[in-house]
Amino acid sequence: MSLRPSIVVVGAGPRGTGFLERLAANLPELYAGRPLDVHLVDPHPPGPGRIWRTEQSPLLWMNSQAEDVTMFTDETVALEGPVRPGPTLAEWAGIDGRTFPTRPQQGAYLRWAYERARDALPADVTVHEHRTTALRIGGPREGRQRVWLAGAAAPLLADLVVLTVGHLDAEPDREQRELAGFAARHRLVHLPPDFTADTDLAALPAGEPVLVRGLGLAFVDLMVLLTEGRGGRYEGEGDALVYVPSGKEPVLHVGSRRGVPYHSKIGYVLDGERPPLPRFFGPEQTDALLSGTGPIDFRRDVWPLVDKELGWAHYHRLFSTHPERTSLGWSDFEKAYEEAPPRGAEIAAIVAAAVPDPADRLDLDALDHPLDGLRFASAEALQHGLRDYITDDLNRRHDPAHSPDAAVFAGLLSVYGQLLRLGKRMDPGAWWHGFFSYLASGPPGPRLRQLLALSRAGVVRFLGPQVTVEADEERGVFRASSAAVPGEWTEARALVEARLPEPTLELTGSPLLRALYEEGARATASGLLMVDPVDGRLLEHDGRPHPRRFALGPHTTARAGGAFTRPRTGGVAFGQNDVTARAALTFLRDRECRLPAPLSA
């Protein structure tokens, strides 16, 4: 008797759940009436997985509003399979859509979405949950795969393997190993890049200075857990918010490359005319790039198109909603902007002539380097300067008069979708993903108001941009400085790297992905697993797609922008899940058709 057909899905968090939902949606058309075993492998609960597990502090929030989070497709998603609509997090939980839910609330929603997808499978499809870690994949290229699990005597047999492992731990790189060794020699505290909710913060003593590198979302979690998480509280609201310490907080001296937090979440709805996207970076441009034979370089070949696309979104919104702030008719500006080459003196002159106020112009380079060239007379002057910067950002991001910012956000989402088409030939690298997050995935406004209150209370101290950290062997301390305050050094016996581990195959903490890398799976220069953009199949060392192995998620070249999909925004990740699910079911169906008929009794 032949074994039942089977799929092993490694990773049962949001991406694995999304794949399961598309599998259930497409089964009636492609694989109806056939038996199938689906094995889900994850040491954490199916649905929320590790990052969104419900057993974490409710002080930690999602970085999206409840109405902007959905696990379900709608008619805006490019699908071959059926649309299966479902509630947003806000609708499911019955909460105000403009609130930022807690991580446990999102975890409960994800668990429900997983159970709904599982229950939608027909009776002849069985889901097996394995609460453990996948260690290795083996097996012949054209035959059944074997997936070895921690603690299991025998491997799982799989006709297909789908990797949806999400964010992962990583081994320390050379710099982190050296800092860890220095800390061990001098009995200091060094916390490497990690998921803040999983980090043991008890080693950071009350009242002591702590150097923190990173002002992104990992820092926001760190800030929350070391303040409210240690019994502090806030009084008042808005600009009058005051932090009342518990006395158990350390003093956080924080800096980064830019020296400022990610831009606040936009606090209004983009209404009225929206920019028609894509315009200067769409299928036509990506097809032209793919038609060449040489390597595609992001900075040289793609970034100028992205710059022009985001500028188009910005100025379209400005001219359509605030024509009084322009000095040229839209049709004339549109024609001149279209004809000008990107990122040159000509397009800069067109913009300068048509948009009198520099504050209304889009300058991506200036946005990426907000404090370049600024010098402060003292560390105290820097604190005042940074608080003014954050206050100005909050005001701008909550003022519809600056709605071109929201149009740029829409442009960023459009760009991300187009970049996925280039995934097989180009990896935009860590800079692009960081820049995207800096502009589009910043913290909720209330978090930045809390940061301002903590700064006024002296619990947080800003270090400035281009922070350098030294290990002082003679004094046995960490030292940090910034060019923004020449000659100023801050010493501490603790250093926290407030950022997530980079998703590289070379340093991944996943034994399965490490083994794939060592066995020759193709990877980009920055260490992402290369997949076929058509259907997510893994690319082998010779560039051929593996017929039985797929991968989706942030460890691959098919990574999508943002953790979750907003309703009615096209849902790139949903489209990827659908294509991969259909490819998997079609493979299994055709394989069944090729098998010889069983002998009659």
**Average pLDDT, integer, range 212-221:** 96
The phi and psi torsions of 255 (rounded to 5 degrees) equal: -150, 175
pLDDT band at 600; cut points 50, 70, 90: very low
Residue 596 is predicted with a pLDDT of: 53
Q: Are residues 509 and 576 in the same domain?
A: yes
360-404: per-residue pLDDT in tens?
999 999 999 999 999 999 999 999 999 999 999 999 999 999 999
- 457 and 370 in a common domain: no
Among 73, 80, 30, 120, smallest CA distance to 579 is for: 80
Residue 274 lies in a domain: no
Whether 2 shows a pLDDT value over 70: the answer reads: no
Average confidence (pLDDT) over 48-56 = 94
Neighbour-count burial for 394-425, b at 16+ CB within 10 Å, e otherwise: bebbeeeebbbbbbbbbbbbbbbbbbbbbbbb
**Are 40 and 52 contained in the same domain?**
yes
Most distant CA pair in the chain, distance:
92
- Of residues 87 and 565, more confidence is placed in 87
| pLDDT at residue 502, as a whole number | 79
Same domain for 118 and 191, yes or no, is: no
Q: What percent of the chain has pLDDT over 90?
A: 82
- Please indicate, yes or no, if residue 278 is contained in any of the structural domains: no
Same domain, 106 and 237: no
Residue 235 and residue 151 in one domain? no
Same-domain pairing of 352 and 409 = yes
Q: Does any domain span residue 305? A: yes
**Token pair of 383 as six digits:** 């604190």
| 133-186: pLDDT as tens digits | 999 999 999 999 999 999 999 999 999 999 999 877 888 999 999 999 999 999
71 within some domain: yes
Residue 91 falls within a domain, yes or no? Answer: yes
Domain shared by 222 and 328, yes or no: no
419 and 291 within one domain: yes
Least confident of 491-495, 539-543, 581-585: 539-543
Q: In this model, does residue 508 exceed pLDDT 90?
A: no
Residue 333 belongs to a domain: yes
Classify residue 335: in a domain, yes or no. yes
Residues 215 and 348 in one domain: no
Dist. CA 118–CA 33, nearest whole Å: 17
Q: Which domain holds residue 470?
A: 174-261+443-497
pLDDT at 601: 35
pLDDT per position as a tens digit, 217-251: 999 999 999 999 999 999 999 889 999 999 999 99
According to the model, what pLDDT value does residue 469 have? 96
pTM confidence score? 0.93
Q: How confident is the model at residue 527 (pLDDT cuts 50, 70, 90)?
A: confident
Q: Are residues 436 and 563 in the same domain?
A: no
Distances (CA, A) of 593 to 38, 442, 586: 20, 50, 11
Say yes or no: 50 and 89 in one domain.
yes
Provide the number of structural domains found in the chain. 3
In a domain, 485, yes or no: yes
What is the signed CA dihedral for 23, 29, 30, 35, rounded to 10 degrees?
A: 70
CATH number for 246: 3.50.50.60
